[in-house]
Amino acid sequence: MKLSMILSQLSSGMAGTIWIFVLTLVFSLPLGLLIALGRMSKNRILSGVFRFYISLMRGTPLMLQLMVVYFGPFYLFGMNIGKWRFPAIITGFALNYGAYFAEIYRSGIISMDRGQYEAAKLLGYSKVQTFVRIILPQVVKRILPAITNEVITLVKDTSLAFSISYVEMFTIAKQIAAAKTTMVPFIAAGIFYYVFNFVVAWVMELLEKKLSYYH
């Protein structure tokens, strides 16, 4: 099988891989902040709930979580899950990565000097204003390297969508390799993931430099 034909078939799955990556970030980054704030709540019950959630998401395989999210509505409520596959993937990825991002956010927030809160209070800032205008921009700058690591991991984890039979690039590579008994599709897929990660790391590095310049 010619390389051009392999690349042509793989390209049809690349869009799915990219969509999983983009949508997961769109939902998991803000979700992670909300989870982090809940985890840091002074309400012990609320804090405990989010602590357990984070432990559960980080302590069980992402593949298993995807299966639970996808098949759960059918086994629990008898729902038709035919059109639920892609939303289930995004939901599963967002819930999982939201937990990881939450701990990154939390580490950044608790590292901030308490004196900044007190100074902002003296200047008349409310707690929300203090967090949004003063604390959060500094937190983002501090946690960006850790966020970058998770984002790079996400690029590779998109291949786990095959576990619930979603046809993304890795799934297509497996199908071609099995049908044609060749390693070429895997090599081509590996190159794609490497280039994708290279671009992501480059963009994140530019963002980090920009934030350093403004702060």
- Helix 184-214 to helix 136-157 angle (10° resolution) is 180
Length of the chain: 215
Query: Looking at residue 141, what is its pLDDT?
Result: 85
Report whether 19 contacts 91 (CB < 8 A): no
CA distance 191 to 209: 27
- pLDDT means per 10 residues, the chain with 215 residues, are 77 88 96 94 94 96 94 87 89 96 92 79 80 82 90 93 86 86 88 91 86 62
3-state SS of the chain: helix, strand, coil percent to 5? 85, 0, 15
* Burial status of residue 40 (CB atoms within 10 A of its CB: 0-12, 13-18, 19 or more): middle
CA distance 205 to 211: 10
Task: At 43, list the tokens.
Answer: 């309400």
Residues with Cβ within 8 Å of residue 28, at least 6 apart in sequence: 93, 94, 95, 96, 97, 98, 101
Query: Looking at residue 185, what is its pLDDT?
Result: 87
- The H or E element containing residue 13 is helix 3-39
Query: Looking at residue 213, what is its pLDDT?
Result: 64
List b or e across 182-199, with b for residues whose CB sees 16 or more CB atoms inside 10 angstroms: eebbeebbeebbeebbee
DSSP state of 165: T
Task: At 14, list the tokens.
Answer: 């690349």
Chain center to CA of 18: 12
Q: Of 20, 2, 4, 1, nearest to 169 (Cα)?
A: 20
DSSP string, 41-103: -S-HHHHHHHHHHHHHHHHS-HHHHHHHHHHHHHHHH----TT-HHHHHHHHHHHHHHHHHHH
Query: Looking at residue 215, what is its pLDDT?
Result: 52
DSSP state of 111: T
Q: Of 189, 200, 184, nearest to 159 (Cα)?
A: 189
